[in-house]
Structure 1
Amino acid sequence: MTEPTTTGPGAASVLEQVLGDLEAESAALAARLVPLADDAGGWRRPTPAPGWDVATQVGHLTWTDDVAALAARAAAGDAAAWDAVVTDALGDPDGFVDAAALAAGDRPATEVLARWETARADLAAALRALPGGTRMPWFGPPMSATSMATARFMETWTHAHDVREALGAAPEPTDRIRHVAHLGVRTRGFAFAAHGRPVPEAEVRVELVAPSGARWTWGPEDAEQRVTGPAYDFCLRVTQRRPRSALALVATGDVAEAWLDVAQCFAGPPGAGSGARA
């Protein structure tokens, strides 16, 4: 399975598909969080991300959705608010994400949840309003509306995973994770570069089994380099939520082996391994 193009006549429908899955994933996490609003112990329970409790995880999602909406509006010509965010980030490039997440999460639970709901809706509206083919600024390369929605899905799914682990809840895999898997495949070159390693030229065939049992594929069928296994395990690896040794992924070839060692689909410097932040 490959993702359709994100420019041209079909771009709007692809964006709607990703936004629909993003809202479904967000709603599933919100349903788990609402009962914690009156449980200070649960709301402040530490998660696998060092220094972040459940409230910080939600605060981070809220802040990032807010900022992504500003970036979308900057692409549409209203750049003042986005420029202010970039200026603040330049003042503390190593700590601004942590600071923003901690500040956004340091509020009553009901307020944080309400702000996140508003931020999600605001971002979806801003992305839908972007003209086709428009690329929006970000802290890395500029992104299309669909790419941003996919990135927001990846982060939402990843932080929902951290929250579930903090609460001792069982995973609930759905085929919505295809967006995370796709991003993981697309960022193979970035992962090597982020680790200071040359990007191999060899193509890699990826064959994953979805939670539904469907088969998802990327890359040439005749590629010698191959990665196979459960899609859920692949998503845990590319978001660095699990070490390779804990996953049922099979790499064939030296490039595929090396890729699974450095796999990373989130922006920024190399993560610290299991529990690293997206």
Structure 2
Amino acid sequence: MTDPKAPGDVLSGLLADLRAESAVLDGLVTGLPAGEWARPTPAEGWTVAHQIAHLAWTDDWTALAARDPEGFAASLGGHFTELLSAGADPVEEGAREGAATGPTALLTRWRAGREAVLTALSAAPADARLPWFGPPMKPASMATARLMETWAHGQDVADALGVTREPGDRLRHIAHLGLRTLGFVFGLHGLPAPGRPVRLELTAPDGGSWSIGPAGAEDVVTGPALDFCLLVTQRRHRDDLALTATGPVATAWLPIAQAFAGAPGKGRRPGA
């Protein structure tokens, strides 16, 4: 984000927002009857329990990366190599194993893990390059990624439970991340790096305006900030969102946009 504050202040603000976003999701699952944890979510094959288990699994890896980068690399090589050699998907396995522990144990694990993330990232040097499954990230970027994932998987839980969450200013972090990953996404799809910048002109949840990206960019994406965040987290199909792309780069980008590392997801069907 373009923020004049010192890096430590930026990170503190991000961690506070991550804590707040986690609390929103915690409020959705606290007190759920055991049977509701088995409710299917829009992510194929994933229940509410799988969603929380995935966040807990990723938080464990995040805390390890921040506390012990060498240990992260060693564990990544050993654990992932074993699973991949057995033909298993590490992400799916992490979600499956966590979901099988039962709601009480899973909720306790997730709460402890996200606190460990907050502690580890706040203690990491602001300019450290923390290892990850994709490119290394600084603590502020790692916090933004955790906020994005918490919001995105929280959307799946909210959809499964028939709950509408109130969007807020924390979406701006996700919008920034969505734009920053533009070049990565083009490469992910085997496309040449864009030769032109893109600017976002989004309507904020409070009715204000967010302009993100170079002021002189001829390629522009306009629409509600919530819709853009739903798009780049692949929680809604573009046909169901009120987004407009102007310019060749913006037009080519929106159908493939994603704010997360890793292979492109299946996305969502129109109307789903």
Bucket of the pairwise TM-score, normalised by the shorter protein: over 0.9
Residue aligning to 1:21 = 17
Inter-partner Cα distance in structure 2 for 1:50 and 1:226:
32
Partner of 2:127: 133
2:42 maps to a residue whose letter is P
Contact 2:65–2:71 (Cα < 8 Å) also in 1: no
Aligned alpha-carbon RMSD (Å): 1.5
Aligned amino acid, residue 16 of structure 1: S
Aligned partner of 2:204 in structure 1 is 210
- 1:200 matched to 2:191? The reply is no
> In the TM superposition, what are the counterparts of 1:251-266 in structure 2 within 5 Å?
251-266=245-260
Q: Matched residues in 1 for 2:205 and 2:81: separation?
A: 41
CA distance in 2, matches of 1:209, 1:186: 19
Question: Structure 1 residues 202-211 or 156-165, which shifts more?
Answer: 202-211
Q: Who is 1:250 aligned against?
A: 244
Q: What secondary structure, in the 3-state scheme, does the structure 2 residue paired with 1:92 have?
A: helix
Query: Any runs of at least 4 consecutive aligned residues in structure 1 with deviations exceeding 4 A, and if so which?
Result: none
2:199 touches 2:219 (CA, 8 Å); kept in 1?
yes
Give the conservation status (yes or no) of the 8 Å contact 1:3–1:182.
no
Report 1:119-268 matches (<5 A): 119-268=113-262
Query: Which TM-score applies when normalising by structure 1?
Result: 0.91
Q: Distance in 2 between matches of 1:86 and 1:228?
A: 42
Distance across 2 between alignment mates of 1:142 and 1:96: 19
Q: Secondary structure at the match of 1:136?
A: coil
Structure 1: distance between partners of 2:211 and 2:116: 33
* Structure 1: runs of 5 or more not aligned: none
1:48-87 pair list within 5 angstroms: 48-75=42-69, 79-80=70-71, 82-87=73-78
Q: Distance in 1 between matches of 2:138 and 2:72?
A: 19
Query: Aligned partners of 1:156, 1:131: CA distance in 2, in Å?
Result: 23
Cα shift readout 1:99-124 (whole Å, capped 9, x = no counterpart): 01110121121111111111011111
- Aligned length, in residue pairs: 266
> Does structure 2 retain, via aligned residues, the 8 Å contact 1:208–1:215?
yes
The secondary structure found in structure 2 opposite 1:207 is strand
Distance 1:232 1:81 in 2: 34
Contact 2:72 2:131 (C-alpha < 8 Å) held by counterparts: no
Q: CA deviation at 1:91?
A: 2.8
User: 2:80 aligned with 1:89, yes or no?
Assistant: yes
Give per-residue Cα distances to partners, 1:121-160, cap 9 Å, x unaligned.
1111111111231111111111111110000000000000
| TM value normalised by structure 2 | 0.93
Unmatched segments (≥5 aa) in structure 2 = none
CA displacement at 1:82 relative to structure 2: 4.9
